């Protein structure tokens, strides 16, 4: 929000690349969940890409997991508040024994290893909307993926 | 999560000071909301301290505002995923005309000025729980405020 209003907004194609790059290179994100029973919850969590999914893990007995059991949908943010990549998607809860070994091995390189900590579960989020903006001047044109498809033309 | 497991966790008093310092010196935070009708939403937003409240502002017609009208409670995070200050509290929606001029003036210094943009409302969150941790090794003892009171002894 501190960017001067004269700063030119980035084009859609550049923002798409920012989203892809951040998903490929970062290791931690913010995970926001909410359900009927509870309000919103927000935690930092490690992640790796697993094909088209964002793979995460957290405690089975946690507010995040209770929220996701009640409403299996989440919103993620990667980066800081002045340079946002926000991702919405449905979430599947996956037992430790059912996670692909290659994914679990990569996950163990960016986090404690859920295979070695009792009471953990993996979370697989499939992005269906991704938004990229770095200030008020980029609020228009921030959507780079909608309904699971990368956009070639702005929709907002 | 990348901190070596031998790193000593900070004492409660030091974590309290981190929370106070961050609230006093930062200008942007993550705002997570959720309601019965919608899932979780998560946005970056500018803030200033207003007495015991965290004052923010956003669009009247937004997912965040719809969530808060349905369930006036939010969770905030200040800082990045490896160095967390998380804040839970009830939220009051405040009309632009009803905001203290001193607060509005300070807010205008860290953000676009809601007094000059049609369709904005202020949000006042009163913290009742604050948690501070910078990795898995600090997960115990992370609560520094509970039920609105700063703690002298760890509760978790």
Q: What is the ipTM of this complex?
A: 0.94
Question: Is residue A4 one of the residues assigned to a domain?
Answer: no
- Are A39 and B75 in contact (CB < 8 Å)? yes
The per-residue pLDDT for range A117-128, each reduced to its tens digit, is 999 999 999 999
pLDDT at residue number A4: 52
CA distance B145 to chain A (A): 17
Question: Is residue B153 one of the residues assigned to a domain?
Answer: no
Give the percent of chain A with pLDDT over 70: 95
Partners of B83 on chain A (C-beta within 8 Å) are none
Question: Is residue A152 one of the residues assigned to a domain?
Answer: no
Q: Which A positions 48-77 lie with beta carbon below 8 A of chain B?
A: 67, 71, 73-77
Task: State the Cα torsion A146-A147-A153-A155 to the nearest 10°.
Answer: -60
Does the structure show a pLDDT above 70 at A2? no
- By CB atoms closer than 10 A (0-12, 13-18, 19+), residue B156 is exposed
Of A1, A33, A46, the CB nearest to B112: A1
Q: Which B positions 92-151 lie with beta carbon below 8 A of chain A?
A: 110-112, 136
CA distance A27 to chain B (A): 10
CA-CA distance, A105 to A100, in Å (whole number)? 9
Does the structure show a pLDDT above 90 at A7? no
Domain residues for the domain of A90 are 12-143
Does the structure show a pLDDT above 90 at A3? no
CA distance A140 to chain B (A): 14
Q: Where do the H-state alpha helices sit in chain B? A: 12-25, 63-70, 101-110
Question: Is residue A39 one of the residues assigned to a domain?
Answer: yes
Of A40, A86, A110, the CB nearest to B34: A40
> Are B49 and A84 contacting, i.e. CB atoms less than 8 angstroms apart?
no
Partners of A71 on chain B (C-beta within 8 Å) are 39
Q: Which of B44, B64, B117 to mutate to test the interface with A (most CBs of A within 10 A)?
A: B44
What does chain B come to in residues? 156
Question: Is residue A100 one of the residues assigned to a domain?
Answer: yes
Partners of A44 on chain B (C-beta within 8 Å) are 1, 77, 80-82, 84
The per-residue pLDDT for range A80-132, each reduced to its tens digit, is 999 999 999 999 999 999 999 999 999 999 999 999 999 999 999 999 999 99
Does the structure show a pLDDT above 60 at A5? no
Question: Is residue B26 one of the residues assigned to a domain?
Answer: yes
**CB-based contact, A32 to chain B, within 8 Å:** yes
Partners of B110 on chain A (C-beta within 8 Å) are 1-2
Average pLDDT, chain A: 94
Picking from A3-12, A42-51, A73-82, A121-130, which range would have the lowest pLDDT averaged per residue? A3-12
Question: Is residue B155 one of the residues assigned to a domain?
Answer: no
CA-CA distance, A46 to B34, in Å (whole number)? 22
Give the percent of chain A with pLDDT over 90: 90
More confident of the two residues A38 and B43: B43
- Are A67 and B40 in contact (CB < 8 Å)? yes
Of B32, B81, B110, the CB nearest to A44: B81
Question: Is residue A3 one of the residues assigned to a domain?
Answer: no
State how beta strands A120-133 and A143-146 pair: antiparallel
CA-CA distance, A104 to B109, in Å (whole number)? 46
State how beta strands A28-33 and A73-78 pair: antiparallel
Q: Is B7 helix (H, G, I), strand (E, B) or coil?
A: coil
Number of separate domains in chain A: 1
Q: Kindly list the averaged pLDDT for each block of 10 residues, start to end, along chain B of length 156.
A: 68 98 98 84 98 97 94 96 97 97 98 95 98 94 98 95
State the CATH number of the domain containing residue B72. Answer: 2.30.110.10
Q: Grade residue A48 by pLDDT with cuts at 50, 70 and 90.
A: very high
- What element of type H or E holds A144? strand A143-146
């Amino acid at each position: 929000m501190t960017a001067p209003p004269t700063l030119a907004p980035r084009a859609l194609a550049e923002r798409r690349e920012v989203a892809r790059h951040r998903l490929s290179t970062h290791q931690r994100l913010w995970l926001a969940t909410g359900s009927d029973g509870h309000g919103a919850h927000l935690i930092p969590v490690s992640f790796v890409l697993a094909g088209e999914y964002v793979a995460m893990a957290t405690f089975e007995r946690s507010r995040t997991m209770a929220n996701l059991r009640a409403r299996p949908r989440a919103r993620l943010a990667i980066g800081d508040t002045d340079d946002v990549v926000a991702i919405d998607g449905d979430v599947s809860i996956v037992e430790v024994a059912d996670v692909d070994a290659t994914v679990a091995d990569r996950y163990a390189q960016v986090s404690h290893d859920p295979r070695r900590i009792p009471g953990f579960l993996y979370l697989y989020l499939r992005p269906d909307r991704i938004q990229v903006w770095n200030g008020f001047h980029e609020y228009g044109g921030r959507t780079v993926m909608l309904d699971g498809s990368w956009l070639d033309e702005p929709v907002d």
